[in-house]
Structures are given as structure tokens and as C-alpha cells.
Amino acid sequence: MALINTISTKSRIYVSGHRGMVGSAIVRRLEAAGYRSLILRTHRELDLTNQQAVFDFLAREKPEYVFCAAARVGGIHANNNYRADFIYQNLMIEANLIEGAYRAGVKRMQFLGSSCIYPRDCPQPIKEEYLLSGPLEQTNEPYAVAKIAGIKLCENYNRQYGTQYFSVMPTNLYGPNDNYDLLNSHVLPALLRKTHEAMLRGDKTLMVWGTGKPMREFLHVDDLADACVFLMERGVGDGLYNLGTGTDVSIRELAENIMEVVGFRGSLVFDTTKPDGTPRKLLDVSRMRELGWQARIPLKEGLAMTYRTYVEEQKQLYQRTHAFQA
């Protein structure tokens, strides 16, 4: 693995999925560091599941570096109910970008996956080498299989073609530009919205899916973006890297922290007819720490930041809606 930094603020950098939570955070981080030659396209401008469109775009724009942050994502409900969509769309996006990048001569590429790639009953904390060591969690197996395929594409393009493509596997993410849909979002944004709305209604209870016992690790998306840029600037060109905080909390603890941030004074009720998902998912982040990086934003501080952003977004949405109706 070559640790020689060839990227500069003048480098042409393509960030796919730049309007999503992850992609937008990477763009913010790059811009804050002075990178100005960013190549960005919306889904309307470039459908990443269209192979020829992707090949033509990369051949024309000739980015030197690529962050593969585009993906079809969601929580337990979305993963379990749109299984075909999740595996097909993610396979197409990553295959088109990786093959297209190779054809266009991209110097270095970073592929973003998810900690759900690891087996359901992994030893904890989860090391990178535990990949493919056991069965996956069934509720998100299609998404996980697609992301594993992306990792293996990077590995084998490196072996066959001498490319410098590497993968990062973040834990559960939260922060600006998250999806707050109650059915299709991840647990943290869904809980934050439910708690906020329960507080506004003056509810006495807050219903949470599952038993509240599963343990989860949460990483603020700005920390993720910092890690992604850190790796690219370090000259990393292969391998798999876990990105997380190295600590976790139960879903019950998460809900209690959110209630405190929002100011909801009711009590928690757990709907045990709903699935818990993986019992525990804590990443071993020693590989990143050895390189000199670790997360900086504590969960409570990150939750407070995220809630302030959510409230502001809701105010802006309300103002736009009423201005349109007027």
C-alpha cells in the first residue's frame, strides 16, 4: 500500500451522491480544505445505474480522484421491503463507477460501504478480517451483498489492473441531510423525528421498535467525511478500513439521549413485535487509529447539533410551504 500523497487542492475530484448525507459531508470537508476542482452531478443530470452514461461522463470529465458515496440506503423497513431494489441499484451504481473509473484512468478511488457487510453474529468488536466469516443479517442481506461485491471489485481491479481503489466501512451515521422518513430511515433519524413530534403533541409515551436491547455505534457524518479525506490525502490505495467511534450504546440509551436533547418528558414503550436486527454491531477501529485518525464528535454533542439542524430544516420547510400556498 503506497502512502504517498499525490492529491492537491487543484486535483479534479468527483464525489458521487453529493446531495446525500455522506456525499454532501465529503463536499463540505473538501471545500473547507481548499479543494476547488470538484465534479458534481445530480441524479437528474447523471443516472449512475445507466452504464453508458457513467462511462461517457467519466471519460469526458477525467477526474483524478473519485469518492463513491452514491447508494440506495435505508433502515430495517426499507431494506427488508425493497430487497430487489437495494441489491440491483447498488450493484449497478458501484459496477458502473468502478469499471468506468478504470477505463477513464482514475488515479485513486474510495468506495463507501456499510458495517452491515459483516456477519450477523460477529465477534465484537468487528475487525476488517471478519468479512465473509459467517451468515449475514437477513433483513439487510441484499444491501450487504451488493456492498461486499463493491469491496471485491476494488480488490480485484487492483490485483488485475494495478489500480488504487480502496474501501471504507462506516458504522451507523447521522447528521445534516439525513433521511427522516419514519418508515424508510435509519434508527437514529427516525427516533429523533418521532421524539420531536411526540414532544410537540404533548404525548405521554414514545413508542420504539424492538426490545431496546441491541447495541449500536453512531458516527457523526462530519467525522466520517474527515476520515474519508484523511485517507485520500494519506495516499491510501488499497484495503478495507472500518470507520467508527469504537464505542456503542443500546437502542434504549439512544432513545433516552434523544429524549433529553429534544426535551421530551414522557416514558418509553417498546414494540417487541418489531424486529431488532443485529444484536450488536461495534467496529474495531484500530486500523484507523494506527494511521493517526479518530472520531472527535461525542454522541450527545452530535445529537444536539443534529437536532438543531433538523428543527431549522423543519422551519424552512414550513415557511416554503406556506409561502407557496399564499
Which domains, and CATH codes, for the chain? 13-183+216-246+281-297 (3.40.50.720)
Q: Which residues have a catalytic role annotated?
A: 143
What's the pTM value of the predicted model, to 2 decimals?
Answer: 0.92
- DSSP run (H or E) holding 269: strand 267-271
* The predicted structure's pLDDT at residue 326: 52
Yes or no: say if 192 and 264 are a contact pair by the CB < 8 Å rule. Answer: no
Task: Answer yes or no: is 196 a known binding residue.
Answer: no
Pairwise CA distance, residues 86 & 237, whole Å: 27
Pairwise CA distance, residues 246 & 37, whole Å: 34
* The predicted structure's pLDDT at residue 4: 59
Pairwise CA distance, residues 256 & 258, whole Å: 5
Compute the chain's Rg from CA coordinates: 20
Task: Answer yes or no: is 167 a known binding residue.
Answer: no
* The predicted structure's pLDDT at residue 5: 64
For the chain, list residues with pLDDT below 70.
1-5, 322-326
Task: Answer yes or no: is 135 a known binding residue.
Answer: no
Task: Answer yes or no: is 276 a known binding residue.
Answer: yes
Task: Answer yes or no: is 147 a known binding residue.
Answer: yes
* The predicted structure's pLDDT at residue 2: 46
> How many alpha carbons lie under 13 Å from residue 116 in its C-beta half-sphere?
23
Pairwise CA distance, residues 224 & 139, whole Å: 25
